[in-house]
Structure 1
Amino acid sequence: MKKIIIRILTLAAIFVLAVVGFYWYLNQGTTDTTETMAEATFPLVYMKNGDSLLNCLHGYTQEMDVTAMRDTLTPLENDRTLNLRIDPYKKKISDISYEVLNADGSRTLENTKVNKTEEQDGYLNVTLSLQDNLLINTEYALKLKITAGGQVLYYYTRIINEDGLHTESYLDFAMGFYERCLNKNDLESISAYIEPSDEGDNSTFAFSDIHCSMDQLSWGSLSPQAYYKPTPSLKEINDSTATIVMDYMISAKNDNNETELYAVSEYYRMLYTEERIRLLDFERTVNEVFNPENTGVITSSGINLGIAGRDVEYLSDLKNNCVAFVRQGALWEYQTSGNKMMEVFSFPQQSNSDARDTYMQNDIQIVNIDEAGNMYFLVSGYMNRGRHEGESGVAVYYFNATDSSITECLFVEAKQNYELLKRDVEDLNYISTDRNYFYVCVDGSVYGIDFATHQAEVLVSGLKEGCYGSSRTGRYFAWTESTYDASVLTILDLDTRQKQTISCGDSERLRYLGFLDEAAVYGIADTADINTAHAGLEFFPMKKVELVNGSGEVVKEYSVGNYYVTDTVIESKMMTMTRVERQADGSFVDALEDHIVSSSADESGQAGLTTKTTSRKETETYLTVGSALSTSSAPKVIRSRETIQEGTASVKLEASGEREELYYVYAKGKLYDVCTAINTAVKTADENLGVVVDGNLQNIWERGNKVTKLTLDTSTFPDVIRNGSMDVAAIEEGTGRKALDLSGCTLDSVLYYVSEGTPVLAKTPITDQTPQGIVIIAGYDEYNTILMNPGETETFYYGINDSTALFEEAGNVFMTYWDPISD
């Protein structure tokens, strides 16, 4: 019996050892297949102005295109020095150098290694002493090269060498305004700077401006506290004005004594006078940081997003099982059946976040979502942390809802900054139905990228601004070769790679207008009716507008008697058409708008946004999901992990040729618009207190930066100007400079060029004083323009108001040329 027991125990031990050994064998060499995103590690660099910090710079792992890095502007001290503070975040800084380049980055003016740094309270203080070959009132690019923890990083800002910019006064004003509003302290001292009126919306904290009440701007009953204080970003500055943007975070307690966080961005446009700073414009946007662990997030009405604008990114599946949404750098998914709230992706951390995690130079887009909650999504722009920290590009991820994991499918590298990249990705981003390809439009070219091989091919190149776009799902992409002289529209099905071409008659031209859902929209005009004499003021009366599907079949045609469509705006499922009516004599007069509404079935779920009014937060936004949600228990919060993969999914796109000549409007502290015509750009910048730059970052026009009076030396005018020629080719040949057609702009805006030393040609009615119907604007003062007739040498004064009326009567047709600064 004893032997039997021993044998049984022996066999049992062998069995246990065998099981353990087999388990060890099967799992030998394996580790956890997922991981959380690594924390941010890169240092931050701050510019210093006196005792103030400004322009927080974030590091890039590769050298960027200088012309795409127009973010902050840093004035030099009077002795051409620049003081920096580096926060190393425990990284060892072993090497610092800097490079000064001209605005477009084509030429290096200085490349110097920093040999001396000073450590203070854990920071590094650095002084850069720049050479004396920098022109006054000229912007340059500064590229800092810092080796941190053995890794080379690049930091960028623009610099300007000019005295009397009053930078410290602007910084003090903006910080003082912020602090007084937040603390409700000494509000009387700033109330004189705002302009309360009916234009201001005092019903929501999501957006406030200079026209709101002082109570609204000082946060009403919210009672917030500072959470992260702002570091001002100086965007523009000149002799008289400056633009500053401040991003910060506040906290407040809700009715359950729980902490709520709010991300705030403020824009200041200021004018310096000897008496005081004047606030020309002010805007504030607020977005509540979504926290599913706070009470009352899930309500019977939907998901409470708190204070939020109407531009929330969200998508639900057809059966409303799941809804995904983006809030302040984080992607969330709510599953109704299991009452689960999943954090799919987030740069900001639950705790230990800092200015690097919350850097909002990136964007999350939901591509698609299925009934199980699986989805593809994109992260575009600057990567705050993780395996791509410090890189710029487009990351394509797949979220597996079953195991709450994300997998990186592709990372498309880019040398563009966030604002330019965001515009491109919005033009086209599509994952093929078979999940084999990702399609994206970058810098005027359409690329197809294989998920398996990571190989990219160019499908379309040389696209012109305003001549292309994609359908709502992204499956169809359409384009023309030009805006107003196209004869063919091409539609590409990105699932099948099949192309459809649509042509018009020989005496007609067609214009791409956009997509209404999955239907491409274009209009047809007779060449005899088209007028393209002045870029930006083209007249293209379309006698017919057609909607065609991906197979090229017409699904709707719009043609109404003597009414012609001159422009369209497509929003969601409705297209608004601007129209004119042809008169008996062949002329056109303005007519009422008309509309086309899409009748296609909605392929998304029933998610939507609604609002509720509360006393403390004013207007709160709710995301509805098509049915009532259960509020019996708090949602289970799950945070995803990323699948560990061997190798890299990175893709480099080859340059696709020369860039189109474009004009970039920067206003309200950001890239506001991209225009093909200079007059359109100037008008947009004028209306929004902005600036216009060309593709080389050369300032072409700037609001509020002209002298009070100036008289030009007429003997220096080129002959082509003295003769009054308004022909673009003749002006460019006669001056050797770029001709600028400013037709449609105001007199005040074109006087900027006179202020810069360039005469302006203006069309006038033929009168005794202007017999040729053209005058040369040779100067101005507070009350007059100084004009000269072509072929003459004598100038004469003409009142500003009379000049304005004179030029308006002739259609505000102006022509000049631009003499780029050579540095």
Structure 2
Amino acid sequence: MSRLKKKAGILLCVFIAAIAVYFVLTQNILNREDERVYVSMEEATLPVVHTETMGREMNPLCGYVQDMTGAADSLTILPQDRVLPVVISGYAGEVSGIRYEIRSLDQQQLVERTTVNTWENGEDGVRAELPVQNLISQDKQYQLCLYVGLDDGREARYYTRILWTQDTKAQEMVDLAADFSEKTFDYEAARELTTYLEPSQSADNTTLGHVTLQSEFDQITWGGLDIQPVGEKRLTLKQLDGIMGNVELTYMAAESGSVDRIYEVTENFTMKWDSQRIYMMSYDRTMNEVFSGGGDEVSGKRILLGISTDDAISVKKSQNGKYRAFVSSRDLWRYEWDGSRPYLVRLFSFRGEDRTELRNNYNRHDIRVLNVDDSGNVDFLVYGYMNRGVHEGAVGAAFYRYQEEKGILEERFFFPASKPYEELAMDISRLAKLGANGMFYVYLDGAVYAVDLNSNEYLVTASGLTEGTWAVSQDQSRLAWQDGPDRYGAETIHLMNLETGTRQDIHARDGEVLRALGFVENDFIYGMAEQNGQWMSGNRVIGLPVYGLKIVDDNLNVETEYGKEGLYVSGVRVTEGRVHLEQLAKTGANSYQKAGEDIIVCNVEVGVPKLEGIGWYASEDRKKLYFVQLDTEVKAGSRVRVSAPRNVAYDVSDTLDLKSGGRKAETVYRAYGNGKLLQVTDGLAEAVAACYDAMGYVTDESGRIVWNRVTRPNMRTIREWDTLAGRILGQLATFSEDGEYGTGFWLMDGRGLTLQQALYYVGMGCPAAALGPDGSCELIIGYDQYNVTIQDPATGTSRKMGLQDAGTYFASRGNDFVCGLFTE
């Protein structure tokens, strides 16, 4: 009997223990529902390369698996002996080979090709030295491509520009940037930084997402938040041009005592070296919170995204309002309210468990949500550098579809792009549209492609597109483009509805040509012009003024028609249903002069604002906090279910080679400011205007700097102006496009530059030609803080004019400058 009782007691204990285990496991499972989850994706495998220069490891380089001309967005200063140490880290296997190539920036000249035969394996990775030969010139930039062979058969490419110089300015500016950044985390030490600050009442001191030199001291020091960097601080020298340097630091930061509040921080410094001190010309800091999906971030009618910049967040919801897909700091989430509890799915992210790891957080990609349907399926595009996964190390765009019913993420296609992320992003921003007809339309390199999602076949919808020959509506549902290769001679315009795929054609009448001018919402604006009615200045075509314009709907029904006797329109700008017109009066066969402006007010519904569905409120400690707006209130304490797609499927994916063979602009200018590419254009004045306020610079197609706001001297007088002016004056009669006119001399159409901007070229030692509407020409040969010196080449006389008066004078003459630059 006692044995029976003993046995029964043992069984009871086992039963109780089983129940306890069950409740513990159940509780653990429930608790895990609001932990972070990650998309099933192969981990990053390509190593990272750092260069050792100026006494520190810097310029972190991520690897590419394709040739990437233009990807060298860092500048490495070579040691005096030209032996460059590099550190190759983060690769689990063995390095099988190292070699490198050095080329001119325009890629036309191979300077050196060398194989490195020895390297050392250490705890921090592979260390090697690149013995750059004495084949490069001092104080001239080159592109270096480092090839690293891996034991899995791949060869990764790493790009940087190199500069061999005796100058120590770069060292001083890099040290200042690192010291400035470090001191912002110490309130007392940061007081030393006040000498660089320029507080302004116009600065936005309501947010920590964007901080500049014009911000208050409290903003510079993180608004009182107890925040510190975590992981590696990645320092990059991005540019050095004479006395101007641009340095960038990127890192992750976290609030003390908070596990989930982690931020991506980028600090960019533009500096000007002087023998007495270094001037801070621009400081630009962005701070974006990484959304974790924690339960406390979803409450009320909000999904709290936290501190951010406007361009790091977006949201799109289904028509029935049940689902919302939102992007926050390059992570894509989908929210659902199932009637009883909130549900978050982390659809896509390159981040892994280590949220500070460089490769997972490399910020050269973005996500664009294309569609969210009423069943919870989400179509989206991931574009830029692929940090990890099957396309690791490639640049391009991948189209994904999240299938709610199966809970999987399916890649439909991928197309590579041989251009840096920022340029690809500009193309995607121009057009990336999923039509209701199941076709995906995308702009890339001067062409629009249509991809059939049922077959992954693609068509070239339009090719040979250049600035001023095509237009897209604000919601990207309508596309218009001129037919034929002549920008100023189109007799047909094609108008296409990208939702349905239907196309209409507009034909010119005899004796006229057409111009695509833009859209006001979904109504198309086009102009009629006289054949051979171009606006000319010498041999340069300034534009094609139109004598009338029409605004039409999808069916080409005329909504508005505009035209005034004796007046022409040179340009159109659309803002909130208003069409602003720049008017001209004709003064000759191919000459015009400004005649004021006019406005057409259109009765159209203004489109959806960029931050539709995003709100913000002011927090006492963290200032402006962004959130996704919800229709249904989530009760406090509600448990948020968080998950990720079960797997990523590639079985239906194809790699598309999108090439149209269309024409491209022969002259390309790139405008940079605060470490970012701001604009790519074929017009010098447009590029300068884009980067002027950011203390930026402009490069040509080869990467050579052709304008820099910071490096212009405070004064300059060209003594032998007559000899130098001859090189410009001798070309004016035939000058029609930007390019090299004689060895080492680059001539550019500077029409539209302000006087202050055109003086850069005088500061670089070349007179600037200023043309008048009557064909006359004057030369600017000098300036100081108060005056400019103007020379009349016809009479040989010169005169001085105050800077302000001169600016007004040349503006009244059209700011028609022709500028030269000595490149050798």
User: Aligned partners of 1:691 and 1:221: how far apart in 2?
Assistant: 34
Give the match for residue 741 of structure 1. 749
Q: For 1:459, which of 458, 461, 474 is the aligned residue?
A: 461
C-alpha distance 673-756 of structure 1, shift in aligned 2 (>3 A): same
Deviation at 1:125, TM superposition (A): 2.9
Deviations 1:352-381 (A, max 9, x none): 650101111111001111112101100001
User: Aligned partners of 1:798 and 1:81: how far apart in 2?
Assistant: 51
Pairing 1:690–2:692 present: no
Cα contact 2:773–2:814 (8 A) shared by 1: no
Structure 1: gaps (5+ residues): 1-33, 767-771
Deviation at 1:473, TM superposition (A): 5.3
Please show how residues 556-705 of structure 1 align to structure 2 within 5 Å: 567-570=571-574, 574-579=576-581, 589-591=595-597, 595-596=601-602, 598-599=604-605, 608-646=613-651, 649-654=654-659, 656-661=661-666, 662-705=668-711
Deviation at 1:325, TM superposition (A): 0.3
Give the match for residue 112 of structure 2. 110
SS at 2:180 equivalent:
helix
User: Aligned partners of 1:595 and 1:249: how far apart in 2?
Assistant: 48
Deviation at 1:258, TM superposition (A): 5.0
SS at 1:625 equivalent:
strand
Deviation at 1:626, TM superposition (A): 3.5
Q: Calculate the aligned-residue CA RMSD, in Å.
A: 3.6
Deviation at 1:469, TM superposition (A): 3.6
C-alpha distance 199-70 of structure 1, shift in aligned 2 (>3 A): farther
Pairing 1:315–2:319 present: no
Q: For 1:728, which of 735, 758, 778 is the aligned residue?
A: 735
SS at 1:628 equivalent:
strand
Cα contact 2:520–2:579 (8 A) shared by 1: no
Pairing 1:411–2:402 present: no
User: Aligned partners of 2:319 and 2:383: how far apart in 1?
Assistant: 26
Give the match for residue 89 of structure 2. 87
C-alpha distance 803-567 of structure 1, shift in aligned 2 (>3 A): closer
User: Aligned partners of 2:298 and 2:39: how far apart in 1?
Assistant: 29
User: Aligned partners of 2:734 and 2:141: how far apart in 1?
Assistant: 31
SS at 1:215 equivalent:
helix
SS at 1:132 equivalent:
coil
Structure 2: gaps (5+ residues): 1-37
- 1:211 counterpart letter in structure 2: Q
SS at 1:300 equivalent:
strand
Q: For 1:178, which of 178, 181, 184 is the aligned residue?
A: 181
Cα contact 1:606–1:625 (8 A) shared by 2: no
Pairing 1:287–2:288 present: yes
Give the match for residue 762 of structure 1. 770
Deviations 1:729-772 (A, max 9, x none): 49989758654221232344334334445443224799xxxxx9
- 2:695 counterpart letter in structure 1: L
Cα contact 1:724–1:776 (8 A) shared by 2: no
Deviation at 1:567, TM superposition (A): 4.5
Q: Which moved more, 1:810-819 or 1:378-387?
A: 810-819
Q: For 1:148, which of 125, 147, 150 is the aligned residue?
A: 150
Deviation at 1:252, TM superposition (A): 1.4
SS at 2:179 equivalent:
helix
User: Aligned partners of 2:198 and 2:429: how far apart in 1?
Assistant: 35
Cα contact 2:520–2:574 (8 A) shared by 1: yes
Please show how residues 469-618 of structure 1 align to structure 2 within 5 Å: 469-471=471-473, 474-481=476-483, 486-494=490-498, 497-506=501-510, 510-524=514-528, 531=535, 533=537, 538=543, 540=545, 543-549=548-554, 551-555=555-559, 567-570=571-574, 574-579=576-581, 589-591=595-597, 595-596=601-602, 598-599=604-605, 608-618=613-623
Tell me the matched-pair count. 772
C-alpha distance 176-529 of structure 1, shift in aligned 2 (>3 A): same
Pairing 1:429–2:435 present: no
Cα contact 1:318–1:606 (8 A) shared by 2: no
Deviation at 1:194, TM superposition (A): 0.7
Deviations 1:612-651 (A, max 9, x none): 1111111111211344344451210011133444485212
User: Aligned partners of 1:569 and 1:668: how far apart in 2?
Assistant: 27
User: Aligned partners of 2:188 and 2:506: how far apart in 1?
Assistant: 65
Give the match for residue 12 of structure 1. none
Cα contact 2:98–2:115 (8 A) shared by 1: yes
- 1:672 counterpart letter in structure 2: L
User: Aligned partners of 1:81 and 1:195: how far apart in 2?
Assistant: 41
- 1:711 counterpart letter in structure 2: I
- 2:707 counterpart letter in structure 1: W
TM-score by length of 2: 0.85
Deviations 1:44-66 (A, max 9, x none): 111222322322111011122x1
Q: Which moved more, 1:46-55 or 1:532-541?
A: 532-541
Deviation at 1:335, TM superposition (A): 0.4
Pairing 1:54–2:58 present: yes
Give the match for residue 305 of structure 2. 305
Cα contact 2:475–2:607 (8 A) shared by 1: no
Cα contact 1:428–1:469 (8 A) shared by 2: no
Give the match for residue 447 of structure 2. 445
Deviation at 1:723, TM superposition (A): 6.0
Cα contact 1:99–1:111 (8 A) shared by 2: yes
Q: Which moved more, 1:123-132 or 1:329-338?
A: 123-132
User: Aligned partners of 2:319 and 2:202: how far apart in 1?
Assistant: 39
SS at 1:198 equivalent:
coil
SS at 1:197 equivalent:
coil
User: Aligned partners of 2:164 and 2:578: how far apart in 1?
Assistant: 48
Give the match for residue 9 of structure 2. none
Give the match for residue 347 of structure 1. 350
Give the match for residue 327 of structure 1. 328
User: Aligned partners of 2:610 and 2:88: how far apart in 1?
Assistant: 48
Pairing 1:774–2:782 present: no
C-alpha distance 313-149 of structure 1, shift in aligned 2 (>3 A): farther
User: Aligned partners of 2:599 and 2:610: how far apart in 1?
Assistant: 31
- 2:619 counterpart letter in structure 1: T
SS at 2:656 equivalent:
strand
